[in-house]
């Protein structure tokens, strides 16, 4: 296999896709069309297309995702979410989009919010999950609106007429019983700017000149498979991915949000004892072949979500990332490549306890045992997801580059992320390193490195090396070889070496 | 590792962001690319078909009154869609086409065109006006022109080959006559729903039909199979001067035919009533469906036709173990009645059996179809069904009941949403052969009988 060749220049860190554009039209896809595309058309088309999905298109030379309107690794999206809602709320006309059946409202500072409630039988479940995951996703680099779990009463609303009064009454009645006089409410800061409808998961927005990468080939969206798997986001309907236009019409741009998060942490996957329903919603999760073969006469039973912790959804310590899919399935997730999975795992691994604990605290769970259990489950699944992602590739990164000195040749210091994360010990890790030129021809004998003593290990670069060098590294953890090698591309002009590209 | 410097950038091309000047080369890619090239057409055909999706279905349902009339106005006023359609049936020529669907705010509009070969095409325009209140009410105007070149005529009766009314030519190479028909039809329909489940339609149409031998049909053409003059409404053999000078020629080409076209111009007015207690017409729902219709047809100008049509249907939808498992027996009776002394009814106006899912090849004055379906939900929006159909035709009720029934059995899958049908895939087996049907974006049922042919 001939390696790619990278241009000799620093990696791009910002794609600058926030230039001013005219206000795009709001998308409002028909649900049936979306479902028929997801469940029928795409499987047929994919069966007729043997080509591999292309590498992600929103990735820079260091195999990382630069800052964009989709991804903000330095938490630029936090500013809006930092300021909690300030009651009293005034009701606004129109339906809510991040959660069905809520109230659109404006707070005392004039900012718009969507207010919504938990399912009647699961107090704090959805509101807590949305508040927690919005913070976790933001820590991962995604744009999410601020979400807060609040206890509100009628006194937190400015009611202008009997219709407002009735709307608030109905809103409160739609969810669980109050604690005292206050009702648990999810408060989502939305819309931020102008809501443009659900983010298309296929193709690009034709009316957004900043939108240059087909969405199915965006790593930020492909990576949602392990991220949603970790966070138990099993539904990916129109409420979850939303586009918003920020700025004055004509001078603003589109930002892409993960907005409707009430289904996170297994909230959308709760399995309740369910009698047959006219809309067949109860058939979800059943074995379709049994249903087909038994002519629908055999009533399959499902493993029910425990009632012991009503504030927790169907969120267990085990998850099969390979099989994880949302409903409806998302094209980008289905095109996840090993490098995308690895990138996602790195991001997930970067969310440490100092971030996780306050995020889960934002869920405002009144049941301490539920909060403690949730913390354990989130950490268990995080570790499992990171392990899965790191196992897709050779999980090594360039830690630093040491230039040649009078007594030592130049060296690339590589870091094994799996060892760094404590998933394997250094003693269990070994590496085979091929040294190639840009045509893929070896210019030196391959190296085999064993028991390097830590997460870091050097690869020396001889003075006789060609001007463009590819280090192809394949790791073996506990004797099991990684399915893919990683590559470090280097150039040297004169005495100095530079890393110009990384491939996983 | 920190980058050496952050590149300043404006809106960047993805290739520039990736920084690759020459892509990697994987030896396995060439084979995959070649295979992908070979599958280009079927792959894109699938994409084309699915463009129709739910938009088509929801707009096409505008033709019915029973569905919530508000849905008629649900598309945004002023919006139009251009959508493809596909119809595949082993008994018919496959056709593909496109339609423009739109909502003018006060009316729904559909312009459709389809192409199934050089002699097979359809063009249709419909404008429907709907009022949801105070009574769900629909008024629609439609124009249709179509040509179909490979229609079958086996003769009348349950067993046409032995029915004495069919006079086959002794030298005929086959007993299956094929013919070409071109139709131009104008139709006005008025419908309303009274109460929750009851609706009525009044429709009136004028139909000009031109029947002749299938161009290039060879020894199987209708005039090569049946004795001249023995089939009312069939073309006749003549060398020149057929006497039909105003034959429509919109789709028909100048290919030579062996026959002299038969033309008819008939008006038909019908009253239909229907009681349908099902909660949903698309997904499996329990209930009862009862309907009846009666209409009068009269020739215009030189056409001496005069006959009546009567018919009824009754169906039950019974839940088995769960609401959406539906066992459905159904009985459909259609008839054409010719008053004493009236001219023979053109064979194209006799009743067939479009509900029979085997080979719909029998026509006569009376037709009876009995069926038993079992339909259940496998997953949301997808329902398998199995069925058994029985069909009989005859010149009178007594003859019809004595006729040896034909049977067809099969299975299929229905794609539907909560409010509309999206498509159907079906395979049926009968002693006469196998039939495969796939529709997407085309409604499988219509609000009035006039659309059934």
Pair (A492, A353) in one structural domain: no
pLDDT (tens digit, 9 = 90+) per residue, B364-403? 999 999 999 999 988 877 889 999 999 999 999 999 999 9
In the prediction, which pLDDT does A80 show? Answer: 72
**Nearest beta carbon to residue B377 from set A11, A212, A280:** A280
Q: How far apart are CA A301 and CA A336, in angstroms?
A: 32
Share of chain B above pLDDT 70, in %: 77
Same domain assignment for residues A321 and A232: yes
> Angle formed by the axes of helices A338-349 and A224-231, to 10°?
40
Would you give the DSSP letter of residue A53?
P
Contact: A10, B285; criterion CB under 8 Å: no
Residue A87 C-alpha, separation from nearest chain B C-alpha, in angstroms: 36
A498 contacts in chain B (CB < 8 Å):
4
Of B450, B441, B420, B447, nearest in space to B114 by CA:
B441
B37 to chain A: nearest residue by CA? A49
Q: What is the pLDDT of residue A39?
A: 78
Check residue B414 and give its pLDDT: 85
A48 and A168 share one domain: yes
Distance CA A124, CA A310 (A): 8
Picking from A360, A390, A420, the residue at the C-terminal end of a domain is: A390
- Point out the domain boundary residue: A390, A411, A428: A390
Q: In Å, how far are A158, B84, B122, B126, B441 from B101, measured between CA atoms?
A: 44, 11, 16, 10, 12
Residue A163 domain flag: yes
A248 and A205 within one domain: yes
> Quick check: is A322 in a domain?
yes
Q: What is the CATH number of the domain that holds A466?
A: 2.60.40
Does a structural domain hold residue B307?
yes
| Domain-ending residue, one of A328, A360, A390 | A390
**How does residue B10 score in pLDDT terms, banded at 50, 70 and 90?**
low
pLDDT at B49: 64
pLDDT (0 to 100) of residue B285: 85
Task: Give per-residue pLDDT as tens, B309-340.
Answer: 999 999 999 999 888 899 999 999 999 999 98
Looking at the structure, do residues A385 and A418 belong to the same domain, yes or no? no
Nearest to A6 among B21, B381, B417 (CB): B21
Across the interface, do B325 and A55 touch by the CB < 8 Å criterion? no
Q: Give the count of domains, chain A.
A: 2
Which residues from chain B sit within 8 angstroms of residue A295, using beta carbons? 325, 374, 376, 386
User: What is the domain extent for residue A49?
Assistant: 31-267+311-390
Average pLDDT over residues B334-356: 90
- The 10s digit of each residue's pLDDT in A378-391 is 999 999 999 999 99
Residues A365 and A444 both lie in one domain: no
Give CA–CA dist A381/A359, Å, rounded: 16
Is B25 contained in some domain?
A: no
SS3 category, A188? strand
Nearest to A11 among B19, B39, B376 (CB): B19
Q: With cut-offs at 50, 70 and 90, classify the pLDDT of residue B92.
A: low
Other CB atoms within a 10 A radius of the CB of residue B36 amount to 15
Q: Quick one: DSSP state of residue A17?
A: -
Q: Are residues A216 and A357 in the same domain?
A: yes
Q: The tokens 């997904």 sit on which residue?
A: B283
How far does chain A reach from its first CA to its final CA, in angstroms? 14
DSSP tag of A455: S
Start-to-end C-alpha separation, chain B: 72
Is B90 in contact with B359 (CB distance < 8 Å)?
no
> Cβ separation of A291 and B25 shorter than 8 Å?
no
Residue B226 CA to residue B222 CA, distance in Å, equals 6
Contact B87, B99 (CB under 8 A): no
Three-state DSSP at A402 gives strand
Is 60 exceeded by the pLDDT of residue B453? Answer: no
Task: Name the pLDDT band for B84 (thresholds 50, 70, 90).
Answer: low
Query: Is residue A363 domain-resident?
Result: yes
Chain B residue with minimum CA distance to A55: B18
In a domain, B12, yes or no: no
Q: How confident is the model at residue B410 (pLDDT cuts 50, 70, 90)?
A: very high
Q: Can you tell me the ipTM of this complex?
A: 0.83
Residue B24: pLDDT over 80: yes
Preferred mutation among A25, A39, A40 to probe B, highest tally of B CBs within 10 A: A40
Q: Please give the pLDDT value at position B228.
A: 86
Most confident option among A105-119, A483-497, B413-427, B429-443: A105-119
Tell me the C-alpha distance between B140 and B130, whole Å.
8
Mutant choice from B9, B15, B18 vs A, greatest count of A C-beta within 10 A: B18
Tell me, what's the pLDDT at B309? 94
Same domain flag for A461 and A406:
yes
Is the Cβ pair B325, A296 closer than 8 Å? yes
Tell me which of A11, A214, A217, A338 to substitute to probe the interface with B (most B C-beta atoms closer than 10 Å). A11
The reply to whether A299 falls in a domain is no
Q: Per DSSP, what are the bridge partners of residue A468? A: A491
In tens, the pLDDT along B202-256 reads: 999 999 999 988 888 788 889 889 988 889 888 876 544 454 433 444 444 444 4
B240 or B106, which is more confident: B106
pLDDT at B280: 78
Chain B residues closer than 8 Å to A499 by CB: 1
Q: How many residues does chain A have?
A: 504
Residues of chain A with pLDDT under 50: none
What pLDDT score was predicted for residue B423? 74
Instruction: Look up the pTM and report it.
Output: 0.67
Q: Provide the token pair at B258.
A: 């062996």
Compute the distance between CA of residue A371 and CA of residue A49 in angstroms, rounded to an integer: 46
8 Å CB contact of A51 and B33: yes
Binary contact (B29, A12; C-beta < 8 A): no
> What are the distances in angstroms from CA A250 to CA A191, A194, A321?
18, 12, 42
**Domain count of chain B?**
1
Query: Residue B68: which CATH number?
Result: 2.40.160.50
State how far residue B71 is from chain A, nearest Cα, in angstroms. Answer: 13
Domain-embedded: residue A300: no
The answer to whether position A472 is within a domain reads yes
Same domain, A377 and A404: no
Note the pLDDT of residue A443: 92
CB contact under 8 A, A4 and B43: no
**A414 min Cα distance to partner chain B (Å):** 10
Alpha carbons A473 and A337: distance in angstroms, whole number: 18
Contact A412, A435 (CB under 8 A): no
Do A384 and A420 lie in a common domain?
A: no
Q: Which domain holds residue B267?
A: 33-451
Give me the pLDDT at residue A268, please: 94
Most confident region among A19-28, A384-393, B73-82, B131-140 by mean pLDDT = A384-393
Q: Encoding tokens for residue A253?
A: 């741009």
All residues of chain B having their beta carbon less than 8 Å from the beta carbon of residue A19 are: 10-11
Interface probe for A, chosen from B52, B378, B417, B424 (most Cβ of A below 10 Å), is: B378
Q: Where is pLDDT greater, at B260 or A132?
A: A132
Residues in A touching B27 (Cβ below 8 Å): 1
Contact call for B18 and A55, based on CB within 8 A: yes
Torsion angles phi and psi, residue A225, rounded to 5: -60, -60
Q: Which residue among A4, A12, A499 sits closest to B9, beta carbon to beta carbon?
A: A12
Residue B23 lies in a domain: no
Does residue A154 sit in the same domain as residue A232?
yes
Tell me, yes or no, whether B173 lies in a domain: yes
A223 and A178 fall within a common domain: yes
Contacts of B444 (CB under 8 A, 6+ apart): B421, B424
């Amino acid at each position: 296999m001939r390696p790619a060749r990278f241009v000799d220049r620093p990696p791009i860190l910002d794609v600058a896709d926030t230039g001013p554009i005219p206000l795009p039209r709001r998308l409002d896809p028909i649900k049936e069309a979306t479902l028929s595309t997801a469940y029928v058309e795409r499987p047929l088309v994919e069966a007729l297309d043997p080509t591999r999905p292309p590498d992600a298109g929103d990735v820079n030379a260091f195999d990382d995702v630069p800052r964009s309107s989709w991804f903000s690794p330095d938490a630029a999206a936090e500013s809006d979410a930092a300021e909690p809602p300030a009651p009293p709320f005034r009701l606004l006309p129109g339906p809510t989009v991040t959660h069905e059946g809520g109230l659109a409202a404006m707070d005392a500072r004039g900012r718009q919010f969507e207010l919504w409630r938990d399912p009647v039988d699961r107090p704090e479940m959805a509101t807590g999950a949305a508040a927690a995951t919005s913070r976790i996703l933001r820590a991962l680099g995604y744009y999410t609106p601020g979400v807060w779990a609040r206890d509100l009463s009628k006194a937190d609303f400015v009611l202008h007429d009997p219709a407002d009064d009735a709307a608030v009454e109905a809103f409160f009645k739609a969810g669980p019983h109050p604690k005292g006089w206050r009702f648990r409410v999810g408060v989502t800061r939305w819309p931020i700017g102008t809501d443009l409808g659900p983010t298309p998961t296929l193709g690009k927005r034709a009316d957004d000149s900043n939108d240059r990468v087909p969405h199915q080939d965006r790593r930020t969206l492909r990576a949602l498979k392990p991220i949603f798997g970790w966070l138990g986001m099993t539904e990916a309907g129109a409420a979850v991915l939303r586009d918003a236009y920020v700025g004055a019409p004509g001078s603003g741009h589109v930002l892409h949000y993960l907005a409707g998060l009430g289904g996170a942490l297994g909230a959308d996957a709760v399995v309740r004892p369910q009698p047959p329903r006219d809309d067949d919603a109860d058939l979800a999760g059943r074995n379709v072949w049994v249903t087909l073969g038994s002519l629908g006469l055999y009533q399959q039973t499902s493993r029910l979500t425990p009632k012991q912790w009503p504030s927790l959804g169907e969120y267990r310590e085990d998850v099969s990332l390979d099989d994880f899919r949302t409903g409806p399935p998302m094209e980008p997730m289905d095109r996840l490549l090993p490098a995308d999975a690895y990138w996602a795992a790195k991001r997930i691994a970067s969310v440490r306890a100092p971030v996780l604990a306050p995020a889960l605290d934002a869920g405002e769970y009144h049941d301490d045992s539920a909060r403690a259990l949730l913390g354990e489950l989130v950490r268990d699944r995080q570790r499992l997801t990171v392990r899965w992602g790191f196992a897709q590739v050779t999980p090594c990164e360039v830690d630093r580059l040491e230039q040649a000195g009078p007594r030592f040749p130049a060296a690339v210091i590589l870091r094994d992320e799996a060892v760094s994360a404590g998933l394997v010990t250094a003693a269990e890790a070994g590496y085979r390193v091929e040294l190639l030129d840009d045509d893929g021809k070896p210019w030196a004998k391959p190296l085999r490195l064993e028991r390097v003593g830590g997460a870091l290990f050097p690869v020396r670069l001889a003075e006789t090396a060609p001007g463009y060098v590819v280090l192809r590294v394949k790791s073996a953890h506990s004797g099991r070889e990684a399915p893919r090698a990683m590559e470090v591309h280097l150039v040297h002009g004169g005495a100095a070496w530079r890393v110009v590209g990384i491939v996983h | 590792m920190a980058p050496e410097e952050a590149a300043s950038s404006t809106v960047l091309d993805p290739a520039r962001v990736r920084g690759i000047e020459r892509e990697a080369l994987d030896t396995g890619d060439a084979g995959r690319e070649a295979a992908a090239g070979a599958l280009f057409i079927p792959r894109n055909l699938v994409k084309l078909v699915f463009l129709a999706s739910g938009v088509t279905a929801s707009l096409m349902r505008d033709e019915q009154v029973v569905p919530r009339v508000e849905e008629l106005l649900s598309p945004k006023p002023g919006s139009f869609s251009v959508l493809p359609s596909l119809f595949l049936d082993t008994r018919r020529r496959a056709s593909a086409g496109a339609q423009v669907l739109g909502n003018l705010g006060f009316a729904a509009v559909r312009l459709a065109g389809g192409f199934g070969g050089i002699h097979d095409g359809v063009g249709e325009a419909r404008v429907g006006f709907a009022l949801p209140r105070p009574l769900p009410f629909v008024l629609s105007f439609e124009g249709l022109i179509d040509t179909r070149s490979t229609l079958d005529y086996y003769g009348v009766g349950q067993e046409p080959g032995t029915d004495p009314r069919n006079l086959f030519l002794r030298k005929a190479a086959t007993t299956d006559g094929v013919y070409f028909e071109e139709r131009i039809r104008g139709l006005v329909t008025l419908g309303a729903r009274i109460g929750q489940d009851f609706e009525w339609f009044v429709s009136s149409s004028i139909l000009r039909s031109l029947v002749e031998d299938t161009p290039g049909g060879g020894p199987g053409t209708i005039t090569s199979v049946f004795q001249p003059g023995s089939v009312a409404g069939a073309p006749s053999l003549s060398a020149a001067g057929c006497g039909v000078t105003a034959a429509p020629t919109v789709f028909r080409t100048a290919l030579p035919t062996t026959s002299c076209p038969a033309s008819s111009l008939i008006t038909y007015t019908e009253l239909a009533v229907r009681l349908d207690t099902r909660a949903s017409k698309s997904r499996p729902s329990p209930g009862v469906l009862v309907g009846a219709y009666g209409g009068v047809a009269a020739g215009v100008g030189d056409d001496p036709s005069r006959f009546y049509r009567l018919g009824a249907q009754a169906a039950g939808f019974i839940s088995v173990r769960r609401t959406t498992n539906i066992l459905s027996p159904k009985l459909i009776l259609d008839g054409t009645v010719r008053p004493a002394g009236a001219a023979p009814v053109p064979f194209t106006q006799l009743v067939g059996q479009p509900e029979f899912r085997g080979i719909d090849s029998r026509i006569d004055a009376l037709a009876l179809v009995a069926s038993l379906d079992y339909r259940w939900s496998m997953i949301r929006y997808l329902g398998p069904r199995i069925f058994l159909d029985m069909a009989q035709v005859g010149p009178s009720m007594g003859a019809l009941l004595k006729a040896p029934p034909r049977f067809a059995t099969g299975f299929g899958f229905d794609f539907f949403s909560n409010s509309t049908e999206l498509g159907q895939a079906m395979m049926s087996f009968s002693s006469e052969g196998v039939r495969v049907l796939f529709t997407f974006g085309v409604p499988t049922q219509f609000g009035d009988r006039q659309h059934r042919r």
